[in-house]
């Protein structure tokens, strides 16, 4: 039995095209309806972009106090980085703006580049990100066509496994610290290989000991809430 007021940690497998806030609002509404209350605390422990899927952790009631602790844990992602072209957002949110010659690409070149992107890094976040620049979200400025300069921040990449069966579409698994932008790593892999690169698929699989294999879809979670 759930006790949402006292606090629960809910594991959601976020679908494509949903924002993290939409998921929170949907689950909050379901809990309010079930309990017959006007207010209930519900928050998420780490945003996932609309174009990403996978593990989104929601905390309710008093468990919202643990959000910072959960967010600080190591994360794991899988996905695909496309080499040979770039986009302003480093992913599929924006159209391709440049293409590059990929004739010199080899598996060795890609794996060496991924190795250089492992360890302690000074990473430049994407212009299309939620970072605040003089009180405004960077993505709001970027979408207006304004130049956005975001200072680098320290992050750590524990593992960057690159499957090079398809040299232009790198199937990866990355373990990293809080605050690491996988889109930026896609951009950086393109820079390191002199081919350009952007993210075409992203799935968060783990946060600390929490695993997406233990998560429920939004519909399944709502059904569980309604049942008890």
Distance separating alpha carbons of residues 156 and 125, to the nearest angstrom: 14
Report how far apart the first and last C-alpha atoms of the chain are (Å, whole number).
6
- Cα–Cα distance list, 90 to 5, 93, 162, 199 (Å): 40, 8, 18, 6
* 49 annotated active-site: yes
Distance separating alpha carbons of residues 37 and 5, to the nearest angstrom: 10
Radius of gyration of the chain (CA): 19
Residue showing tokens 């709001």: 140
Choosing from 13, 17, 49, 211, which is the catalytic residue? 49
Q: How many angstroms from the chain centroid is the CA of residue 135?
A: 23
Residues taking part in catalysis: 49
């Amino acid at each position: 039995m759930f006790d949402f007021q006292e606090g629960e940690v809910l594991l959601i497998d976020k679908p494509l095209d949903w924002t993290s806030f939409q998921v929170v609002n949907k689950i909050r509404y379901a809990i309010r309806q079930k309990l017959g209350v006007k207010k209930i605390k519900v928050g998420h422990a780490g945003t996932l972009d609309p174009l990403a899927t996978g593990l989104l952790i929601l905390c309710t009631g008093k468990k919202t106090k643990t959000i910072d602790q959960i967010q600080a844990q190591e994360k794991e992602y899988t996905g695909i980085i496309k080499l040979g072209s770039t986009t302003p957002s480093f992913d599929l949110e924006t159209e391709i703006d440049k293409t590059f010659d990929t004739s010199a690409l080899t598996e060795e070149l890609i794996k060496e580049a991924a190795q250089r992107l492992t360890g302690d890094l000074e990473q430049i976040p994407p212009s299309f990100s939620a970072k605040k620049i003089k009180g405004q979200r960077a993505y709001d400025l970027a979408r207006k066509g304004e130049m956005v300069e975001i200072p680098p921040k320290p992050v750590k990449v524990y593992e960057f496994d690159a499957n090079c069966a398809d040299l232009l579409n790198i199937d990866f698994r990355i373990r990293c610290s809080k605050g690491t932008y996988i889109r930026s790593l896609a951009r950086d892999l393109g820079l390191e290989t002199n081919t350009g690169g952007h993210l075409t698929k992203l799935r968060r699989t783990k946060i600390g000991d929490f695993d997406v294999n233990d998560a429920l879809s939004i519909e399944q979670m709502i059904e569980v809430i309604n049942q008890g």
